[in-house]
Amino acid sequence: MAIAEPPVVQAEPPPPPTRRSARAITWARRRRAVAAHWRVYRRNRQGMWGLAILLIFIALALAAPLLVDERRLEPAFSTGIPFQPPSADAWLGTDKFGRSMVDLLVYGARISLLVGFTATVGTMLIGSVVGIAAGYYGGRIDALLNAFTNWFLVLPWIVLAIVLASLLGATLFNIILVIAITSWAGTARLVRAQTLTVKERPYVERARALGAGDWHLITRHILPNVFPVIFANTVLTVALSILSETTLSILGLGDPNSVSWGVIIEESFSSGALTAGYWWWLIPPGVCIVLVTLAFTMCGYALDEILNPRLRER
Amino acid sequence: MRGVRRTAAAAIALGVIAALVSSGTALAQSPTESPQEKVVFDVGVDSDITGLNPFNLCCGPDYEYLELVYDLAIGFSREDLSPAPRIVTEWTPSEDSMTWTMKVRDDATFHDGTPLTAEDVAFTFTLISKYKMPFYKDYFPFDPTFEVLDPTTVVWKSTEPTFAPEIPAYAPVLPKHIWGRFDTVEGTPSADEAKEVRKAVKEFENNPPIGSGPFRFEEWKKGQFLRFSFNDDWWGGDSKTIDEVVIRVYDSDEAMVQALRSGEIDFAEGVSPPLFNTLKNDPNITTHIADGGCWGNIAYNFGGQGETATNHPAIKDLRVRQAIAHAVNKQEIVDRVYQGTAVVGDSILMPGKNGFWYTDIPTELEYPYDPAKANQILDDAGYLDTDGDGVREMPGGGEPLNFEVMTITDVEGSVDTGRLLKGYLQEIGIGVKFITVNTNKAYDLWYTGEWDIYVWDWCPDPDPDFMLSVFTTDQCLGWSDGCYSNPEYDKLYEAQQRALDRNERKAIIDQMQLMIAEQLPVMVLNYWSDLQAYRSEWTGFRPSPNVENGLLLFGYTTVDTYLELTFASEQAPGTGASPGLPAWVWIAVAGGVVVVIGGAIAARRRRVEDEA
Amino acid sequence: MGSQRYLVRKVLHAIATLLFVVAFNFYLFRIMPGDPITILARSQHLSRADIAEQIANLGLDKPLPQQLLIYLGDTFRGELGVDLRSGAPVSQLIAERLWPTILLVGISTVLSIGFGLLIGIKGAWQRGGLFDTTSLYTSLVFYSMPEGWLGMILIVLFAGLLGWFPAGQYESPADLTGFAHIVDVLNHLFLPCLTLTLGYIGEYAIVMRSSLLEVRGEDFITTARAKGVPDRDVRRRHAVPNALLPTLTLVFYSFGFVLGGAVVIESVFSWPGVGRLTYEAIGELNYPILQGVFLLSSVTVILFNLAADILYGYLDPRIREG
């Protein structure tokens, strides 16, 4: 345990204005770092493609209420003819209620992306709290949390998800909750490992020697240094969350009242769309899922290559 | 030295391949060359049987299994499902309807060769009624006893006048020499003794099952298929063509229909509506819409389940229920949810299954689709939207009419009907909050009363008693949907139970059906169909009961149909063989793998040796 | 000495995890909604008294701690309770369904590992080349694909349009024996196996590729190159063996999870394995079965993780000493 030299204390008096400027400096440094990363990222073709696809889908999801009349998605008010193949009226045909597939896909983007993002936020929150707590505090807390994490890693997620989904009922919120509960453990392990390395860095030890509290150390030093590493992981988690939601939906555990892409697949499959030849009902939602998860995965790998310099070509 | 080893390895590899190929082709050909071709009739279903024990049956193909292997004492006529002779050929009541004499046929034998006598019939009835076996016991009311007079005569002695013996007990006649060991208690068993026996009976595996039915049980591969072979000794006659019946289990409708199209199966039971509609255009396949025996409904919660109940006060107002009835477009539900395969329904008894007992409800009590009228009723009743949010409030303001609608994911059509209902209710200023759950959770909520409206179904028995009992006050926290209570209805229910004359009983039951239709504790939406399809080369199907939408198979006593089926084509249909690549392709692939792996190993060894 | 301690620690750890899973398993299924019996009750018109009796038969009316003790005792004796529908022992039901799952998952795992590693190695070594780009994007696409959906598409293509393979099931009920039976099963196996293989190949290829890329940047590779070792030998002797380590551990870790992955595929293809048993049990909330499957798959994961840890310790001396 190296003890930092005391003079630093005097060298850095803490009057409010200086502090504010210190923060400004930090922010400026971070902005520069982000800009530098962005320059590297821009050169990554894979990452740029992923980003482009993502932006299109996000734009669609955000603009959905402007593009599609929500009333037309209410089965009782839909005026279309069911099971119509693609035509000028409905570019991708219609479903069993005569609703336009395009409308459904656009609204599906909203729900699938919502699930992907919120489930990821949940996963990251639980994972980061557990991981940082374990890595930072160490000792008995670490042993306990680590054991807990390892237990969750061995639980068969699909069975656990099934039980939870049926226990809680099929609402969108519950689906998100189930995904977060079943997938945080991997993140926690990653965060813990990273926290352990960051904790040992000299500037953290110096700050601790200066009497910085746990909260300060965690929020100012550990988190900012752990974040880049888990950022790539976060982006990949979104893809996994969307896939998980699809799997749950295909097993009939989705929320049938929020028509995500996964729910569309389940509806078409359980109505026998494939044998009936209604390909426009089953293929497009799957393609959307592939595109979005692919996009997230490509962005994630691109970020991984940038933030994890060992992967960069030498 | 090195060279020799390599050559030897290559020779061995070649030898292995050659051996595989020759033995493989020989084996692959042998079964197809077997001299006697069995005619197999393959039936596709969407779920496996529960088990082989008749006391553990519940759903789906269970009853088809039961009827294939076992005989009923009294069966059902295929003309109109009225009681028909089976193992019991005659049944005559005494003057006071307390004693019924039953004649048992003398030419029936169990599959293990033991003759079936009156002893077996009396034993089966005794086992069920003495130990109160769930599900079957209701066929034997008033603690009857059964006496064997001679090998062909059983006497049913009731403690009260009854017409129960005339209602065919849907229970198999069990061989006493196998099941007799469970009848362990002399005299009347105590509650605990009966419980012990019930437990023992239900735990019996019953493999292989021995019955006296037209087919012998051959094998059951769980989750895959059941195989039965025709019983040459059956008392009821010979099979025209079929030697074996195979029931195959498919998890997805998709796979089942593909199998029907490819000829893997000959008959598909319970096809989903959209797939059914596409099968209509297939020249090789004949489709048939049969009565599904269940009705879809919305039911209302009147409260009464206790403190947990969260029923909305407006539900109790008949005018609200009437307005909802006017707002719901039953035909559209049939068209959109069931793709036109269901039938709009009106009464809690069904025109097919309950035939004789069903009453056609007059139009004014059906509350025909008329949203304007629905709005008018609510306006008149004082349910107004005072705050302009599109949802009406209770008269005089207060609680808005937002109903919690429970829809059930694993009940076909429930979720989709709920989605349409939401739109209909929106049009008359009623808001909907969905509670979408699976059946298990639905039971929980049902019992605790945490819902206002649910979309579910009922499947009445052919005898109307059970279905009618559901709406009695006594059934609250039993089978009642939402604790509906109407003393007048309760009185009628008791009256129909005491009515010994069929027509007298029918008159009372008519009145009860009208009362439910008017009072709307439930709203009957539609009668479901059982969608059946078969390969067109098969002939000999006839619907049972003999109406347009009678069942071809999987109905009461339709098991006889298997014996009458014939096929009209040069090649025997439905050998049960699945499509696939021929054996030589697989042998070639296996050979290829061996060569590649062998080559890789050889190459590696060569390199190691070169470097050494 | 150190390696022995490492081994003991890992085994103890696995046992502790196992204990947790067993206890967790018990409580998880006790908080499930609904009396498991009632789901059958509506179709059988059981009265409340009948239901109460069935619940008592299953021992579900006893206080929870007592149930836990009974459950623990049963579990360690290998008894996993009885199926709520048929009353058959769960252990027997699972055992009956195990072979099809092992067959399907085993073959597809071997295939996807084999092809995945080859593709990953070749791609990484020719980074940026045509093969690398194509294989990387193909891998990514399959990796991003919901497996169930892929299965559905393959059914339509190969079973519907082309009619080459059966759409589902494990075998024909045509009483085939010997080699004809094997061919029959292979034909049924083809589509689900292809689906799983395609689904997993991407992951293995990507992991192998990136781990090889990492190794390729290490100093000893540069040194070997500088010494004039031929490119092929650098790859075979130095790069691949080192890159295999993390990939193999991943393989072992993920092997334990295949049971879960099989749930969707087995349901789509009506494949009578453990996954489909699970799917069926979900529908009727047959919790003794779910509980049994849960235990089985957790134990599998724990064992494979233990195997991976041991393998890792064996291959990587740094761990043993640490």
Domain-embedded: residue B553:
yes
pLDDT per residue as tens digits for the range B515-533: 999 999 999 999 999 999 9
Does B163 share its domain with B95?
yes
Domain membership flag for residue B347 = yes
CA nearest neighbour of C101 among C300, C275, C279, C299: C275
Same domain, residue pair B481 and B416: yes
pLDDT exceeds cutoff 60 at B14: no
Closest Cβ opposite residue A147 in set C16, C143, C160 = C16
Lowest mean pLDDT among A249-258, B88-97, B206-215, C282-291: C282-291
ipTM value: 0.83
Inform me whether the C-beta atom of residue C14 falls under 8 Å from chain A C-beta atoms. Answer: no
| Residue B440 belongs to a domain | yes
Say which residue, C153 or B352, is predicted with more confidence.
Answer: C153
Answer whether residue B64 is part of any domain.
no
Euclidean distance between CA atoms B167 and B458, whole angstroms: 21
Asked if residue B125 belongs to a domain, the reply is yes
Fill in the DSSP letter of residue A219. I
Q: Where are the beta strands (DSSP E) in B192-282?
A: 215-221, 225-230, 244-249, 267-269
Q: How confident is the model at residue B285 (pLDDT cuts 50, 70, 90)?
A: very high
Say which residue the tokens 């550990």 belong to: A222
Contact: A166, B423; criterion CB under 8 Å: no
Q: What phi-psi label fits residue B309: left (phi over 0), alpha (psi between -120 and 50 degrees) or beta?
A: beta
Interface membership of A257 toward B (CB under 8 Å): yes
Give pLDDT, residue B205.
86
User: Which pLDDT band, with edges at 50, 70 and 90, does A14 fall under?
Assistant: very low
Q: Does residue B112 sit in the same domain as residue B221? A: no
For B281, which residue in chain A has the nearest alpha carbon? A276
Q: Has residue B330 been placed in a domain?
A: yes
Q: Are residues B194 and B238 in the same domain?
A: no
What pLDDT shows up at residue B442?
Answer: 83
Q: Is the pLDDT of residue B60 over 80?
A: no
- Tell me whether A229 touches chain C (CB under 8 Å): no
**Would you state the pLDDT for residue A53?**
94
Q: How far is C83 from chain A (nearest CA, A)?
A: 17
Residue that is written with structure tokens 């499902």 in the block: B81
Report yes or no: B387 and B401 within 8 Å, Cβ to Cβ: no
Nearest to C175 by CA among B36, B26, A223: B36
Tally of residues, chain C: 322
A49-88: pLDDT as tens digits: 999 999 999 999 999 888 888 888 888 888 888 888 898 8
State the amino acid at position C44 in one-letter form: Q
pLDDT in tens, C222-256: 788 788 888 778 777 778 877 777 777 777 767 66
Distance CA C171, CA B171 (A): 33
Task: Using alpha carbons, select from B541, B533, B569, B534 the residue that is nearest to residue B39.
Answer: B569
- Asked if A85 is an interface residue toward chain B (Cβ–Cβ < 8 A), one would say no
Looking at residue C256, what is its pLDDT? 60
The model's confidence at residue A11, banded by pLDDT at 50, 70 and 90, is very low
Half-sphere exposure of B534 (CA within 13 A, CB side): 24
Domains of chain A: 61-71+91-313 (1.10.3720.10)
Highest-scoring range by mean pLDDT, A87-96, B122-131, B275-284, C18-27? B122-131
Strand B285-300, strand B453-458: pairing: antiparallel
Domain locations in chain C as residue ranges = 2-76, 90-305
pLDDT at res. B17: 46
Percentage of residues in chain B having pLDDT higher than 90? 49
The distance of A224 to chain B (nearest Cα, Å) reads 42
- CB burial of C10-23 (b: ≥16 within 10 Å; e: otherwise) equals beebbeebbebbbe
**pLDDT bucket at B46, cuts 50 / 70 / 90:** confident
Write the DSSP assignment of B315-358 as a string of letters.
GG-HHHHHHHHHH--HHHHHHHHSTT-SEE--SSS-TTTTGGG-
**B463 and B412 inside one domain:** yes
Instruction: Choose, out of C165, C194, C270, the residue to mutate when testing the contact with B (most B CBs < 10 Å).
Output: C270
In the predicted model, is pLDDT for residue A222 greater than 80? Answer: yes
Structural domain count, chain B:
4
| Residues B428 and B555 occupy one common structural domain | no
B604 pLDDT band (50/70/90 cuts)? low
How many angstroms separate the CA of residue B249 from the nearest CA in chain C?
8
Q: Which of C149, C211, C266, C285 to mutate to test the interface with A (most CBs of A within 10 A)?
A: C149
pLDDT at C70: 83
Both B242 and B304 in one domain: the answer is no
Same domain, B95 and B143: yes
Cα C106 to Cα C247: distance, rounded to the nearest angstrom: 18
- Binned average pLDDT, 10 residues per bin, chain C of 322 residues: 75 86 80 59 61 72 80 81 78 88 89 89 85 89 90 85 81 75 88 91 85 79 80 78 75 68 85 87 78 85 82 62 40
Tell me the C-alpha distance between B319 and B602, whole Å.
Answer: 87
pLDDT at B151 over 80: yes
Q: By the CB < 8 Å criterion, does B202 face chain C? A: yes
Question: In this predicted model, what pLDDT tens digit does every residue of B26-41 receive, in sequence order?
Answer: 444 434 434 457 889 9
Look up the domain containing B593 and give its range.
2-24+585-611
| Separation CA C112–CA C190 (nearest Å) | 14
Q: Is A79 on the interface with B (CB under 8 A)?
A: no
Residue A276 is nearest to which of B275, B332, B407, comparing CB atoms?
A: B275
What residue of A is the nearest CA neighbor of C13? A147
Q: What class, spelled out in words, does domain C90-305 have in CATH?
A: mainly alpha
Cβ contacts of A275 on chain B, cutoff 8 Å: 253-254, 257-258, 261, 275, 278
CB interface of C with A, residues 108-127, below 8 Å: 127
- Are both B108 and B194 inside the same structural domain? yes
In terms of Cα–Cα distance, which of B109, B87, B209 is closest to B154? Answer: B87
Using one digit for the tens of pLDDT, what is the confidence trace for B267-282? 999 998 888 888 888 8
Determine the average pLDDT of the residues in B431-435: 92
Q: Which of C127, C206, C260 sits opposite A159 (nearest CB)?
A: C260
In chain C, residues 140-179 whose CB comes closer than 8 Å to chain A: 140-141, 143-149, 152-153, 155-156, 160
With respect to residue B63, please indicate whether it lies within any of the assigned structural domains: no
Whether residue C164 and residue B579 make contact (CB cut-off 8 A), yes or no, is yes
Residue B343 falls inside a structural domain: yes
Q: Identify the three-state secondary structure at position B388.
A: coil
Listed range (A240-244, B111-115, B608-612) with the worst mean pLDDT: B608-612
